[in-house]
Amino acid sequence: MLHTPKLRGMANVSFWAEDVRVAREWYTKIFDMEPYFQRPDPENPAYIEYRIGDFQHEIGIIDKKYMPKAASSIGNGGAILYWHTDDVSGMLDKLTGLGAIVYEPITERGIDWITASVVDPFGNIIGLIHSPHYKEIWNSLQ
């Protein structure tokens, strides 16, 4: 498959929580569903994920201890909207070439699952992700 550095669509928005189990209770009430994905396990989750809306967009809740180091200067909370791209490295190069600063370097999250993020020249965080989940949804629409 040819990998090109372009943004293809919203793939995941991530929120941080001190206690993921408490956050799971709260978000389960909001979404009226249990998370479909929990790691390492439901009893001790460090990451949970819901799929919501017409296009099954992903909302992840992550233990704050995994928050990027730069995020600690923001204070409580903070969200990163991740845009799917077939080429995280190429898009990261494109964005930094246009003046963005790396916020979180390229990080492998699992098989064929890669993230990175930058701060644009205006102070906004842009998340990049290569997500097998995004590709599954896209392929189901074809």
pLDDT value for 80: 85
pLDDT below 50 — which residues of the chain?
1
Fold (CATH) for 9-140: 2,3-Dihydroxybiphenyl 1,2-Dioxygenase; domain 1 (3.10.180)
Domain boundaries, the chain: 9-140
Closest CA to 96 of 139, 57, 126, 52: 126
pLDDT value for 107: 96
Amino acid at 32: D
pLDDT value for 39: 95
pLDDT value for 22: 92
| H/E run at residue 130 | strand 125-130
d(CA 100, CA 63): 26
**The pTM of the whole model exceeds 0.75:** no
Beta pairing class for 57-63 and 9-17: parallel
Eight-state DSSP code of residue 94: H
pLDDT value for 122: 73
Closest CA to 70 of 101, 37, 91: 101
